[in-house]
Amino acid sequence: MSTDDSAIPNFSRGTNGLLPAIAQDATSNRVLMMAWMNAQAFDETLKSGYAVYFSRSRNQLWRKGETSGHQQRVVEIRVDCDADTILLKVEQKGAACHEGFESCFFRTVSADGAAAVADERLVDPNSVYGKKSS
């Protein structure tokens, strides 16, 4: 983990060395998901040209699409003014969301706080992740 204040991105600014990384569709500009990166995930993203995150629940690198095939080819990387948030413009293969939606942001919240599904599923998550239907 870098401790250099001028490092870009500056992983020393993240909690446990993790920074938020936003993935945006390079063509439609739709925001697809938000995940986390540590320095190793970022380096591997740069080198491979495909999005690699750090899974906080599994406590390991998460090579997006390794199981589902739903990889993200990185078209452009941006970093914000404080160098503590990463923006990836990607070509998304399949569905970004593990629930089978194009984007993880498939629900709207209305002014009264009620949530509603606003999008259509692209794929059946059971077919992608090999779960049996009940």
Residues placed in the known binding site: 80-82, 84, 97, 104
Cβ partners under 8 Å of residue 32, min gap 6: 23, 24, 25, 72, 90, 92, 96, 97, 102, 103, 104, 105
Q: Which residue has the tokens 């920074």?
A: 19
Kindly indicate which of the ranges 59-67, 96-104, 126-134 contains the residues binding its own copies, using the contact rule CB under 8 A.
96-104
Q: Applying CB under 8 A, which of residues 60, 67, 108, 126 lies at the interface with its own copies? A: 108
What character string, x for contact with its own copies (CB under 8 A) and - otherwise, covers 56-85?
A: --------------------xxxxxxx--x
Number of residues that bind its own copies (CB under 8 A): 39
Examine residue 123 and tell whether it contacts its own copies (CB under 8 A).
no
- Indicate the residue among 115 and 132 with the shorter CB distance to its own copies: 115
Hey, what amino acid is at 35? A
Q: Which residue has the tokens 């160098």?
A: 83
CA distances from 9 to 15, 31, 51, 78, 116 (A): 14, 20, 15, 9, 35
What pairs with residue 22 in β-bridges?
34, 87
Examine residue 131 and tell whether it contacts its own copies (CB under 8 A).
no
Binding site for its own copies (CB under 8 A): 8-9, 15, 20, 22, 24, 28-31, 33-34, 46, 49, 76-82, 85, 87, 97-99, 101, 104-113, 115, 118
